[in-house]
Amino acid sequence: MAFGKEIKRLRDGINLSAQKLADLIGIDAERLRKWEQKDLNPRDEDVARIEQYFGLPLEEIMQLEHLRAASLAPRATTDNTTKAVRRILEARESRGLTQSAVADQLASTLGQTYSLRQYQKMEAGEFPKFKKEVVRQLETILGIQLYELIYEQTQPAHESLDGGAETSLSHLAHRRKLKTEEDYDSDGIIYVPIAAQAGYARSLGNELYLHQLQKFVLPGFPYRGEKYRVFEVKGDSMEPVFKEGYHLICERIEQEGWLQIAEFYAYIIVLESDIILKRLAFKDKENFVAISDNEFYKQFLLPMKDIRELWLVKRKMDWEMAPGKKYKIEI
């Protein structure tokens, strides 16, 4: 199967034009059309963009003939629609975005006019009226998964490459999960900015959400992979040591090690719907005492059962330069 033809089949499967796919992956649309029409070989950097977008290595893309049989239709169950709407609302509010802001971002990424009223209909659960590419873009903007809630496969896919019966959607999700896990081990540290923190707390275990967060490598530092995160400080409760906007490199503490943590060190604590930065001390075997550096904030009891993740602060990046010091000239 020619590479270009398979790319066309993949994008047709999600109602994506050549121009829009080219815009999304950052290549020239004419170059993409030449791949599809003349079976030209793409450059290495273009291959990387294609693989990243579809979550599949090039050699697997060229063998995905079984994907053609997958036909998706909107689910009829109201329960799934309700879950999808709730997921959209929570993600949008956690990011501090208005409906207008999301509609504008959709218009920008889709390369077409997209009105506020159209978006409001989506929040009302009217998904069947919209193209699947809109749902895909909304997933990217809000960092959530909607597609499997809203659509279901109506025709069986052909047998998968390894002989088992598998839908195109589950195959892509499986490949994306594997790719994400590989990236965590080798491609830098996941960065959780202030704007994404509430969404992070609600999306633990969601590989797609984590994959969409920015990652970076710090040359010369041994911090990379799933064991580490970079969190951005919010609020003034830990001043003057940790000011708002500072970035903290943190190492994950597994739950079985929570009773052996070093007291009074700084920790990032992920709760059900929030992320906080505090120093911790033991109250007993079931509770920590959370302490702020800023004495205006009172200490409080933090039950271990309420903690979803615990990260030890290893380094801080504060971006501020100390003021110049005056010296006595002695020569």
Give yes or no: residues 209 and 263 share one domain. Answer: yes
Distance CA 33, CA 286 (A): 61
CA distance 279 to 17: 52
Give domain status of residue 204, yes or no: yes
For residues 289 and 241, membership in a common domain is answered with: yes
Given a cut of 60, is residue 188 above it in pLDDT?
A: yes
* Residue 31 falls inside a structural domain: no
Q: Is residue 22 part of a domain?
A: no
* Average pLDDT of the segment spanning 28-51: 75
Residue ending a domain, among 98, 131, 154, is 154
Q: Specify the pLDDT at position 169.
A: 39
Non-local (6+) Cβ contacts of 164 within 8 A are none
Residue 226: band (very low, low, confident or very high) from pLDDT cuts 50, 70, 90: confident
| Residue 78, in any domain of the structure | yes
Q: Which residue has the higher pLDDT, 155 or 219?
A: 219
Does residue 103 sit in the same domain as residue 199?
no
Q: Average pLDDT, whole number, for the chain?
A: 76
Task: Report which of 301, 308, 304 is spatially closest to residue 285, judged by C-alpha positions.
Answer: 304
- pLDDT at residue 291 is higher than 90: yes
Residues 210 and 114 in one domain: no
Higher confidence at residue 155 or residue 110? Answer: 110
Domain limit, last residue, from 154, 172, 197: 154
Give the pLDDT of residue 41.
Answer: 65
* Calpha distance 192→202 (Å, rounded): 13
Sorting pLDDT into bands at 50, 70 and 90, what band is 271? very high
Q: What is the pLDDT of residue 266?
A: 95
Helix or strand run (H / E) with residue 92: helix 78-94
Percent of the chain topping pLDDT 70: 69
Same domain, 97 and 150: yes
Which residues touch 317 (CB under 8 Å, ≥6 apart)? 246, 247, 248, 249
Q: Do residues 193 and 150 both lie within one domain? A: no
Residue 66 falls inside a structural domain: no
What global pTM score does this model have? 0.46
> What is the Cα gyration radius of the chain?
24
| Residue 115 vs residue 267, higher pLDDT | 267
Domain identity same for 284 and 195 = yes
Residue 177 domain-assigned (yes or no):
no
User: 270 in a domain, yes or no?
Assistant: yes
Average pLDDT over residues 142-160: 60
Q: Are residues 232 and 299 in the same domain?
A: yes
> Domain boundary residue among 105, 127, 154?
154
Identify the CATH number of the domain in which residue 76 sits: 1.10.260.40
Mean pLDDT within 183-187: 47
Is pLDDT of 286 > 80?
yes
Range of the domain at 127: 72-154
Model confidence over 298-323: pLDDT tens digits?
999 999 999 999 999 999 988 777 77
Residue 325 tokens read as 């010091």
User: Structural domain tally of the chain?
Assistant: 2
Domain assignment of residue 162, yes or no: no
